[in-house]
């Protein structure tokens, strides 16, 4: 079964490790994703997110540009195995010839510093998908609120009042216009509904699950799932344990295939099979994982078949639904 994964943090992890002096690259490494693992997992396309942690830098644009350079350096070093794509035609050509594709994305809209010029420049540099936020408010929008200090530190609370800023609305409209896909993962509840209001195109939640199954506010409510499906969008099943099941102690969280199946079944019931994809969050999530790396992705296909999903439904989840969005938007 071919695989498309809408989100990983591998490029950022390679960049950070190199900054610490480690000799590491995309061809083969100890991370959850490298080219050997992608081949073993039968991948057709991997989205590579440039994740900027705002507490790590006061120069978010430059930080993202350094990761972008890491991405293209790795693409050039491994051009016989993988190639970056920016259009549907490039994706289709690679897919038909069995070549692995890499789609560049941004996780944290603050790297644009509220400037539409910078947004367009990132598009010109190959970025085709972006989250408006990570877990910090920025010039564009508000995420669900994270309590950073005190006895409740680490708790996430739904943000139901503060959504997109005026600048954020302008970004949504410009992303629609230029062909950069909106990613609502990490956006607060009010912001997500604002995106439904102001965006006129299909968009994605690249790595978000169902809140009715696991109550973490990073997951989508049933109403959001229905609206996303009606818009023609897709949500990617996140493999992080805390997004799959409620654990009394998050330190005990583990990623189980059975829990992934529960989310897929629930989302199918609420929004239909057509709105489900994969967004592993590999190299951004840790802990004990039954699918420990990209090399073992077929475990999920096998589990879905045992759970009664048809081959056509598995193909929809593994690649066809995401390809549909890319065909329309890129």
Per residue in 60-93, pLDDT (tens digit) is 999 999 999 999 999 999 999 999 999 999 999 9
**Segment 203-259, tens digit of pLDDT:** 999 999 999 999 999 999 999 999 999 999 999 999 999 999 999 887 789 999 999
282 sits in the region (left: phi over 0; alpha: psi -120 to 50; else beta) called: beta
What average pLDDT score do residues 53-57 get? 94
H or E segment and range at residue 313: helix 311-315
Q: What is the CATH number of the domain that holds 215?
A: 3.20.20.140
Percent of the chain at pLDDT above 70? 99
- What is the count of structural domains for the chain? 1
Q: Domain range for residue 54?
A: 3-329
- Provide the 10 A C-beta neighbour count for residue 302: 12
Burial of 21 (0-12, 13-18, 19+ CB in 10 A): exposed
Percent of residues, the chain, with pLDDT higher than 90: 94
Compute the average pLDDT of residues 131-144. Answer: 97
What gap in Å lies between CA 330 and CA 88, rounded to an integer? 5
**Which pLDDT belongs to residue 250?**
79
Q: Give the pLDDT mean for 191-200.
A: 98
What is the C-alpha to C-alpha distance for residues 237 and 85, in angstroms, rounded to an integer? 23
Helix, strand, coil shares, percent, the chain, to 5: 45, 15, 40
- For residue 164, how many C-alpha atoms fall within 13 Å in the half-sphere facing its CB? 23
Give me the chain's average pLDDT, please. Answer: 97
Q: How far lies 65's CA from each of 15, 31, 52, in Å?
A: 11, 22, 10
pLDDT of residue 152: 67
Q: CB–CB of 160/189 below 8 Å?
A: yes
Which has the closest alpha carbon to 68: 106, 20, 99?
106
């Amino acid at each position: 079964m071919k695989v498309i994964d809408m989100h990983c943090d591998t490029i950022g992890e390679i960049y950070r490790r190199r900054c610490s002096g480690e000799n590491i690259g995309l061809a083969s490494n100890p991370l959850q994703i490298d080219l050997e693992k992608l081949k073993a997992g039968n991948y057709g396309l991997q989205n590579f997110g440039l994740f900027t942690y705002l507490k790590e830098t006061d120069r978010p644009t430059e930080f993202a540009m350094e990761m972008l350079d890491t991405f293209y350096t790795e693409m050039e070093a491994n051009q016989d195995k993988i190639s970056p794509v920016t259009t549907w035609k490039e994706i289709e050509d690679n897919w038909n010839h069995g070549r692995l594709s890499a789609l560049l994305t941004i996780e944290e809209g603050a790297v644009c510093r509220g400037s539409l010029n910078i947004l367009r420049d990132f598009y010109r540099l190959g970025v085709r998908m972006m989250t408006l936020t990570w877990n910090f408010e920025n010039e564009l929008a508000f995420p669900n609120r994270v309590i950073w200090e005190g006895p409740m530190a680490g708790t996430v609370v739904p943000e139901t009042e503060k959504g997109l800023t005026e600048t954020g609305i302008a970004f949504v409209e410009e992303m629609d216009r230029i062909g950069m896909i909106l990613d609502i993962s990490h956006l607060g509840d009010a912001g997500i509904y604002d995106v439904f209001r102001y965006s006129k195109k299909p968009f994605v939640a690249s790595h978000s699950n169902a809140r009715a199954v696991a109550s973490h506010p990073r997951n989508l409510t049933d109403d959001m799932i229905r609206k996303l499906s009606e818009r023609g969008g897709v949500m990617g099943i996140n493999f992080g344990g805390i997004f799959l099941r409620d654990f009394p102690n998050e330190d005990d969280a583990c990623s189980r295939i059975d829990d992934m199946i529960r989310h897929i079944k629930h989302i199918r019931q609420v929004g239909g099979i057509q709105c489900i994809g994969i967004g592993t969050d590999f190299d951004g999530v840790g802990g004990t994982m039954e699918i420990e790396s990209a090399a073992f992705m077929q475990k999920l296909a096998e589990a879905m078949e045992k759970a009664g999903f048809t081959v056509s439904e598995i193909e929809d989840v593994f690649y066809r639904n995401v390809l549909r969005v890319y065909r329309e938007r890129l």
